[in-house]
Amino acid sequence: MRILVVGGGTGGTIVANNLARRLAPEIRAHKASITLLSASDRHMYQPGLLYVAFGQMMPDELYRDQASLLETCIDFHVDPVEQFQIDQNKVKTESGKIHEYDVLVIATGSRTMSRKIPGLTEGAETFYTEEGAVKMFKKLRDFEGGKVSIVVGVPHKCPIAPVEVTFSLHDYFKARGIRDKVEIKYNYPINRIHSIENVAKWAKPEFDRMGIKYETLFNVEEVDVENKVVKSMEGSEDHYDLLISIPEHHGMEVIEKNDLGQDGWIPTDRYQLTMEGHDNVYVVGDTTNLPVSKTGSAAHFEAEVIAENIASIVKIGTPVSEYDGKVYCFIEAGHDKATYANFNYLTPPDLKAANKSMHWFKMSYNKMYWTSVRGLL
Ligand SMILES: Cc1cc2nc3c(=O)[nH]c(=O)nc-3n(C[C@H](O)[C@H](O)[C@H](O)COP(=O)(O)OP(=O)(O)OC[C@H]3O[C@@H](n4cnc5c(N)ncnc54)[C@H](O)[C@@H]3O)c2cc1C
0.85 exceeded by the pTM? yes
How does pLDDT run across 342-358, given as a tens digit for each residue?
999 999 999 999 999 99
How high is the pLDDT of residue 375? Answer: 87
| pLDDT averaged over every residue in the chain | 97
Query: Which part of the chain is CATH 3.50.50.60?
Result: 2-109+252-327, 114-248
In this predicted model, what pLDDT tens digit does every residue of 231-285 receive, in sequence order?
999 999 999 999 999 999 999 999 999 999 999 999 999 999 999 999 999 999 9
Query: Which protein residues touch ligand 1 with a CB less than 6 Å away?
Result: 6-12, 37-40, 46-47, 49-50, 80-81, 107-109, 127-128, 157-158, 161, 252, 254, 285-287, 294-297, 299, 329-330
pLDDT tens per residue across span 85-144? 999 999 999 999 999 999 999 999 999 999 999 999 999 999 999 999 999 999 999 999
Q: Which CATH architecture has domain 2-109+252-327?
A: 3-Layer(bba) Sandwich (3.50)
Question: In this predicted structure, what is the pLDDT of residue 377?
Answer: 82
CA-284 nearest atom, ligand 1: 26
Among 37, 46, 268, 293, which is best to mutate for testing ligand 1, by the most ligand atoms less than 8 A from CB?
46
Contacts of 298 (CB under 8 A, 6+ apart): 285, 290, 292, 326, 327
Domain 114-248 sits in CATH 3.20.10.10: no
Q: Ligand 1 centroid vs 254 CA: distance in angstroms? A: 15
